[in-house]
């Protein structure tokens, strides 16, 4: 169950600069964020299956990693107090220590042990002299001057320390994290249950794949881009198909979606001409706000709640769907799914390879290609930027995010870019 907030309208209307008919992107993000709380539900997952899942417990080492001091190099384990600071020292070798096979005895004055990387430091030794620096013949070993206590030794606990928390709830587990968990011998962890996200497309002009295409119809591509974006986020996508612009069908679809999902993402039906009947229906079903966002593409959008499910009503144009998803929905779903870290997409800077047309007063998400020439990382436009030109998203490797207040961009100016590869 979501932590209930009294009313979305009440939460957002008292925000600074809230104007539903000209909402800056940042204000819309903040408004959405203010309404969200993680949904509940925890389950156990085998360590490998936990990749990408949100951790629901604190991982506290019960032992040090590494468990004992061990050698970082191949060489000889010595007692640094035995060594002459300014001259060679001859020592006698007692035996060897291998990874997984410790030297059983103690090392006394004037003695040393041949040691391999990863082998436990024999009792009494406190430094490793690398093999390239040592002269040895038989059991006689000559160590050059200038060795230091602790050199080439990995201290017990230098990776993970007993009792010091290493991973906390709210973290999406990475490949490195799986390795950390495994290094503690943990076979299973508690993770949040996957968020269930229902999605459907609206529009009388839409045909589904497998049907013939009548004049004036388009194949429903949005359900495929949405599926891809949702799948990459690690949520459980629930495909509810195409719904016609018919109040009864829409109402039934929204009710079914709300009953089975934590969030609903739709495309189409929120543009000015269409919004009115959707608005009336929404007023019956839940609390949904209709916004005009100061952005391009993707001006109209709906946000609200039907029962316990949050609704993101995205515009229908194929590029606008993707832009609004990444600008608003992605982060919202991560928050609902329990991510505690800042999941915002990083904005990096690149040099504009040419001038970009832009008018102040809206944030533009132009599709760009980031490339490197001899001098710098630069970004160029994919060309045609119409919100129906889905090819521009496929050709691009980044968004060029031209800020709200910014006007025309001249060649050579730095511009913020958001890499698509950072979206996975
Ligand atoms: P709408 O926001 O419903 O007015 O849709 C805007 C435009 O986006 C329509 O003219 C359609 O051509 C296109 N469109 C809407 N939904 C889809 C979809 N699911 N797949 C492909 N194109 C769509
Ligand atoms: Mg439509």
> Each residue of 325-373: pLDDT tens digit?
999 999 999 999 999 987 888 999 999 999 999 999 999 999 999 999 9
Which residue, 208, 84, 207, 219, is CA-closest to 147?
84
Give the pTM: 0.93
Pairing type for strands 398-402 and 363-372 reads antiparallel
pLDDT, position 1: 42
- pLDDT of amino acid 325: 98
DSSP 3-state of 36? coil
Q: What is the pLDDT of residues 366-404, one digit of tens each?
A: 999 999 999 899 999 999 999 999 999 999 999 999 999
d(CA 221, CA 316): 10
Report the pLDDT value the prediction gives residue 206, as an integer from 0 to 100. Answer: 97
Of 99, 87, 129, the residue nearest 112 (C-alpha) = 129
Q: How confident is the model at residue 423 (pLDDT cuts 50, 70, 90)?
A: low
The pLDDT assigned to 400 comes to 98
**349 CA → ligand 2 middle, Å:** 36
Task: Copy the structure tokens of residue 171.
Answer: 């973290």
Least reliable range by pLDDT among 13-27, 129-143, 257-271: 13-27
Helices (H), 221-373: 222-233, 247-260, 272-285, 318-324, 330-336
Tokens of 279: 């608005």
Q: What is the mean pLDDT of the chain?
A: 95
* Burial bucket for residue 185 (CB in 10 Å: 0-12, 13-18, 19+): exposed
Taking the CA of residue 201 as reference, the ligand 1 atom at the shortest distance is 19
Higher pLDDT, 281 or 396: 396
Beta partners for 197? 237, 263
Q: Is 221 touching ligand 1 by the criterion CB < 6 Å?
A: yes
Summarize pLDDT for 98-119 with one digit per residue, the tens.
999 999 999 999 999 999 999 9
- The pLDDT score that the predictor gives to residue 14 is 87
Residue 63 in this model has a pLDDT that exceeds 50: yes
What is the rounded average pLDDT of the residues 268-272?
89
Distance CA 8, CA 372 (A): 45
| Residue 222 beta carbon below 6 angstroms from any ligand 1 atom | yes
Q: How far is the CA of 315 from the centre of ligand 2 (A)?
A: 8
Q: Find how far residue 16's CA is from the centre of its chain.
A: 29
* pLDDT for residue 2 is more than 70: no
Our mutation pick for probing the ligand 1 site, out of 223, 268, 272, 320, counting the most ligand atoms within 8 A of Cβ, is: 268
Whether the per-residue pLDDT at 288 is higher than 70: the answer is yes
Q: Is the CA virtual torsion 346, 316, 289, 39 positive or negative?
A: negative
Is the pLDDT at 48 greater than 90? The verdict is yes
* Cα gap 194→212, rounded to integer Å: 36
Q: Which two tokens stand for residue 401?
A: 């995010």
Looking at the predicted structure, is the pLDDT value of residue 3 above 70?
no
Q: State in Å: Cα 347 to ligand 2 middle.
A: 32
Which tens digit of pLDDT belongs to each residue from 12-33? 988 888 999 999 999 999 999 9
Going by pLDDT thresholds of 50, 70 and 90, the confidence category of residue 124 is very high
User: Is 267's C-beta closer than 6 angstroms to any atom of ligand 1?
Assistant: yes
Model confidence at 4, in pLDDT bands (50, 70, 90)?
low
Q: Does the C-beta of 159 come closer than 6 Å to ligand 1?
A: no
Asked if residue 300 has its Cβ within 6 Å of ligand 1, the reply is no
Q: CB of 294 within 8 A of CB of 363?
A: yes
């Amino acid at each position: 169950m979501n932590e209930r907030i009294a009313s979305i309208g009440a939460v957002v209307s008292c925000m600074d600069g809230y104007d539903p008919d000209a909402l800056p992107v940042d204000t819309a993000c903040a408004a959405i964020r203010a309404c969200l709380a993680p949904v509940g539900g925890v389950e156990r997952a085998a360590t490998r299956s936990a990749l990408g899942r949100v951790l629901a417990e604190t991982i506290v080492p019960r032992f040090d990693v590494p468990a004992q001091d061990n050698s970082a190099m191949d060489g000889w384990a010595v007692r640094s107090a035995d060594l002459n600071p300014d001259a060679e020292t001859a020592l006698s070798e007692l035996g060897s220590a291998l990874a997984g096979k410790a030297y059983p005895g103690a090392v006394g004055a004037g003695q040393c042990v041949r040691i391999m990387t990863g082998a436990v430091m024999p009792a009494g030794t406190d430094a490793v002299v690398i093999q390239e620096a040592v002269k040895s013949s038989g059991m006689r070993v000559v160590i050059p001057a200038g060795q230091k206590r602790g050199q080439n030794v990995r201290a017990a606990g230098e990776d993970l320390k007993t009792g010091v928390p290493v991973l906390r709830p709210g973290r999406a587990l990475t490949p490195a994290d799986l390795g950390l968990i495994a290094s503690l011998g943990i076979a299973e962890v508690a993770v949040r249950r996957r968020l269930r996200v229902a999605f459907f497309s609206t529009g009388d002009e839409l045909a589904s794949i497998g049907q013939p295409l009548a004049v004036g119809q388009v194949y429903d591509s949005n359900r495929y881009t949405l599926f891809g974006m949702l799948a990459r986020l690690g949520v459980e996508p629930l495909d509810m198909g195409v719904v016609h612009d018919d109040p009864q069908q829409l109402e039934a679809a929204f009710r079914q979606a709300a009953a089975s999902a934590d969030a609903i993402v739709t495309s189409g039906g929120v543009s000015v001409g269409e919004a009115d009947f959707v608005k009336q229906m929404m007023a019956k079903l839940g609390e949904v706000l209709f916004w005009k966002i100061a952005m391009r593409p993707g001006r109209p959008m709906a946000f609200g709640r039907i029962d316990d499910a949050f609704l993101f009503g995205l515009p229908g144009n194929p590029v606008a769907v993707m832009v609004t998803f990444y600008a608003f929905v992605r982060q919202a779903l991560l928050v609902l799914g329990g991510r505690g870290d800042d999941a915002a997409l990083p904005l990096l800077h690149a040099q504009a390879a040419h001038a970009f047309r832009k008018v102040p007063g809206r944030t533009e998400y132009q599709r760009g290609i980031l490339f490197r020439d001899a001098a710098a990382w630069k970004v160029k436009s994919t060309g045609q930027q119409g919100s129906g030109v889905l090819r521009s998203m496929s050709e691009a490797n980044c968004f060029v995010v031209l800020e709200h207040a910014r006007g025309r961009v001249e060649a050579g100016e730095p511009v913020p870019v958001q890499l698509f590869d950072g979206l996975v």
